[in-house]
């Protein structure tokens, strides 16, 4: 099965769907017009394991790691997560508002959750992302731009771009030029 959007459900066909309660309806008449790339690892700088899913489903055990004591009560999510090996997971249907951006603004517009799609990459600011992640991210962005007219010309930004001083992800190791080259390749094929 190839990657596609099921329009009625807002789910990607090849993504493993794990519903997060941390979402709600977008404001009336507001469509996604921005794509936000994030980086996440739990615990910090450790990859694999069930912790991201546990956080996004409000099941993070504060006793499982000292870092979790400070974050286990957060109510956060993203539409999509791309694991280190390129595996694609979905937590929030695309038509809903995922709680990924927090206090944020883009081009003078506040509350980026209202008008964006949030894509998490399993990673950290200081560790290079994997080739499989860039490939999947480019496929997902290309699909979103094809499936949703409001995203055709959507800017792609980092969490750090919409919440400067508060967030640093996807970090200095994220290769924006590589992503844009892959997107150009998808556009010309």
Of residues 33, 46, 120, 122, which has the active-site annotation? 120
Residue length, the chain? 189
Rounded CA-CA distance 109/115 in Å is 9
The separation between the first and the last C-alpha atoms of the chain, rounded to the nearest angstrom, is 20
Sign of the CA dihedral with 88 first, then 175, 135, and 133 last: negative
| Sequence-ordered list of residues with C-beta below 8 angstroms from that of 67, at least 6 positions apart, any chain | 42, 43, 44
Residue 110 bears catalytic tag = no
- What are the angstrom distances between the C-alpha of 147 and each of 7, 13, 140, 143? 8, 13, 10, 6
Which residue's structure tokens are 């980026």? 112
Cα distances (Å, whole numbers) of residue 181 to 76, 115, 177: 31, 25, 6
Residues identified as active-site: 120
């Amino acid at each position: 099965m190839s990657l596609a959007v099921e329009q009625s459900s807002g789910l990607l066909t090849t993504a493993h769907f794990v519903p997060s309660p941390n979402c709600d309806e977008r404001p009336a008449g507001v469509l996604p017009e921005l794509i936000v790339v994030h980086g996440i690892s739990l615990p910090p700088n450790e990859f694999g394991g069930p912790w991201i899913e546990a956080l996004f489903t409000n099941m993070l055990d504060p006793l499982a790691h000292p870092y979790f004591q400070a974050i286990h009560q957060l109510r956060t999510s993203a539409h999509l997560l791309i694991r280190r090996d390129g595996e694609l997971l979905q937590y929030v249907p695309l038509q809903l508002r995922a709680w990924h951006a927090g206090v944020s603004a883009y081009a003078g517009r506040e509350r980026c959750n209202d008008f964006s799609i949030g894509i998490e990459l399993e990673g950290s600011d200081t560790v290079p992302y994997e080739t499989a992640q860039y490939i999947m991210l480019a496929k997902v962005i290309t699909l979103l731009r094809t499936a949703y007219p409001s995203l055709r010309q959507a800017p792609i930004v980092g969490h750090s771009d919409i919440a400067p001083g508060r967030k640093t992800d996807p970090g200095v190791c994220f290769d924006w030029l590589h992503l844009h080259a892959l997107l150009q390749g998808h556009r010309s094929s």
